Copies of this chain bind each other. A is one copy, B any other.
Amino acid sequence: MSDVYAERRARLLERCVAGGSDAALVTGGANVRYLAGRVPAGSALLVGPGHDLLLCVADPFDAGGDGRPAGDLRIFVLPSVEGDPAVAAAERAEAAGARAVAVEEHHLTVLRHRALRSVAPGLRLDDLGPAVEQQRLVKDDEEISCLRIAAEIADQALGELLESILVGRTERHLALELERRLVDHGATGAAFATSVGTGPDSGLMGHVPCDRRVEEGDFLTVCLGADYRGYHSEVARTFVIGTSPSEWQIELYEQVFAAQRAGREALVPGTPYREVDRAVRRVLDAAGHAERLGPWVGHGVGLENGEDPRLAPSAMGKLDACVPVTVDPGVHLPGRGGVRIDDTLVVRPEADGGPELLTITTKELLAL
């Protein structure tokens, strides 16, 4: 793995140098992980000049990580946890002869940025912008295989839940049980707070599970994901509780399902992000639900849940092959409930069979 990280850092440095900076100071948590492996929280990474340097407040070898930082990466553990690794990095960059360092202005607070300037007054601080986030967009095989496992784990947890008795149990307990099952199946943990919504809570995005109990006739929406080696899957399904769904439930389910399928089918390399959004939105517009759809219909997944790209009406950019995204439309009818269907897929050329579906739990409307 160590070569992967070194190669990523070399690519970043190349871009920095082309932009007129001598080094990059990376402080965004997922960005540091992408470039240096699993390291203690709050670490800062100085890429160039000379040897790359990881600055931490705790020894990375105690972190219980899934891999040691790359061999060619030098490590500096701050003498006190009160210290700021980014400040120490700025000092070292200046001492190493750097004249300009690009920092992540979208991660650094004003206070920390000022501290950097004051310890290294001769150093020019440029803006790195979302350079690392952009580098993270297209995933390599190793990353995709982690996502594949993360998706399998979530599918297993969900599958087991469906075999158990649901009526009478609270949203909160179902969510906790799902999270326990994620860990049982090998996840590091949940990728995000598991959402379980029943009855009038069903179909809501990011609904916080409450003490509401599952009842006969309810819609039940479950949204969960596993974190496997830092990579996050996401899946949502909506079920109906009891013997047979009612008319409005079948109709709404079919509308959301058709919209979600249209979104999945639009996942072709070269397609603008906004076209995927439009494909989903068009189906729900026709069904009269235009207003009820959220601000996006999917997003990238990887080391963060909800990373670039965003499949939204105003998003700029086009899909690339090997970009994992979700397609996750939902419609909620106030007071009645709703439907959300969410998959994690990897964009693939049509010659390779089109989008690779990672979350394979059935999307039939099951009556449980």
Contacts and interface: CB of A to CB of B under 8 A. Distances in A.
Contact of A110 (B108, B173, B208): B108
Nearest to A125: B110
A111 B130 CA distance: 11
A108 B109 contact: yes
Contact of A105 (B103, B110, B173, B210): B110
A51 to B, nearest CB: 27
Contacts of A107: 109
A106 interface: yes
A39 to B, nearest CB: 13
A32 B314 CA distance: 30
A353 interface: no
A2 to B, nearest CB: 22
A363 interface: no
Contacts of A176: 179-180, 183
A168 interface: no
Contacts of A261: none
Interface in A338-360: none
B180 A80 contact: no
A332 to B, nearest CB: 10
Interface in A162-220: 172-173, 176, 179-180, 183, 207-208, 210
A3 interface: no
A107 B107 CA distance: 10
Nearest to A312: B82
A295 interface: yes
Given A64-B210, A183-B172, A210-B64, A295 B81 contact: yes
A295 B80 contact: yes
B106 A109 contact: yes
A318 interface: no
Contact of A109 (B110, B295, B312): B110
Nearest to A210: B64
A113 interface: yes
Nearest to A296: B81
Interface in A84-116: 103, 105-111, 113-114
Interface in A274-307: 294-295
Nearest to A130: B111
Given A80-B295, A82-B314, A103-B110, 12 more contacts: A64-B210, A82-B295, A105-B109, A105-B111, A105-B114, A109-B109, A109-B110, A110-B110, A110-B113, A172-B183, A173-B180, A176-B179
18 contacts: A64-B208, A64-B210, A80-B295, A81-B294, A81-B295, A82-B312, A82-B314, A105-B109, A105-B110, A105-B111, A106-B109, A106-B111, A109-B109, A110-B110, A110-B113, A110-B127, A172-B183, A173-B180
